[in-house]
Structure 1
Amino acid sequence: MKIEFWLNGVKRQEEIQPDTLLLDFLREKGCYSVKRGCETANCGLCTVLMDEKPVLSCSTLAARADGKKVVTLEGMQKEAQELGTFIANEGAEQCGFCNPGFIMNTFAMLKELTDPTEEQIKEYLSGNLCRCSGFVSQTRGILKFLQYKKAQEEA
């Protein structure tokens, strides 16, 4: 089956099998930030943005990308590095395995919420698992990142 979509801003046409998972398809295309974690749509490690909404690629067929814009961490390196620095500065990069999911979900959240509260951040990111730091460091890093961005806008 043929699909046509945008991957990190580049229009593509690909031939896929109907049962191909988006996670496997993206990794075949070199998007290694998309990670296999629980394989049950419970950990958030495989999160990508599809038309600016977070999607768990381990439970989404690649066929659903047809006509859509798919963004992985590879497609937003500058923004991801900036947010990732704030998360790391708060001690949340112990193993780094969960960070791509946190980063992708944070950017999806910012498309929906203009000035999220700490409670809204925690609620939005509740589908991400971190076995090292238990979300406290990530939340602090995200809050500091938001403060930084707000100060930049006001300057």
Structure 2
Amino acid sequence: MYSLNVPVPSSVARLASELAREVPRAQERTRGEHTLVLKRLGQDRSVPRLQAQIREYLAGQPPFEAQVTGIDYFANATNGPSPVVYLTVESPELRRVHAKLVAKFSPVEGMEGDDYSPHVTIARGGDRATTTGLAERSIEPITWTVSRLTVRDARRGEPASSVSLPI
């Protein structure tokens, strides 16, 4: 499975890692895995073809801002261990780009399109009471400029290519 992701700055990855230590028995992301999924792309395409399609669909897309604004959780994950505690991400332009990509690549039911919730996963599973308590905590917002997108290979757990903005 490939996905188009927004790399997050080290300050966001560091915050997610620090918060993950507070969720006992949870599956924490390792450093470098903290990303923001913009759109799942499927597994049927080659990376060069995906990269060419992304460049075509997002031609002229300038860099844009995104901001981590809080902590929340999904009580029941669409797949994998639950609950999923995450950093919420606000960005009108991110949502616009997501909608543009959904029009070109079929949406994943229950996760994309109207159901899209931009976030950076902190941890999956673990103690539900700790997760809900963590979601009540406030954090200092972190704002960054999205100037690059990566095609991520979930099977290998690593980026396969990247695209700089503007395209």
**TM bin (shorter chain):** under 0.3
Q: Which has the higher contact order (CA 8 A, sep 6+)?
A: 2
Q: TM-score, normalised by structure 1?
A: 0.28
Q: TM-score, normalised by structure 2?
A: 0.26
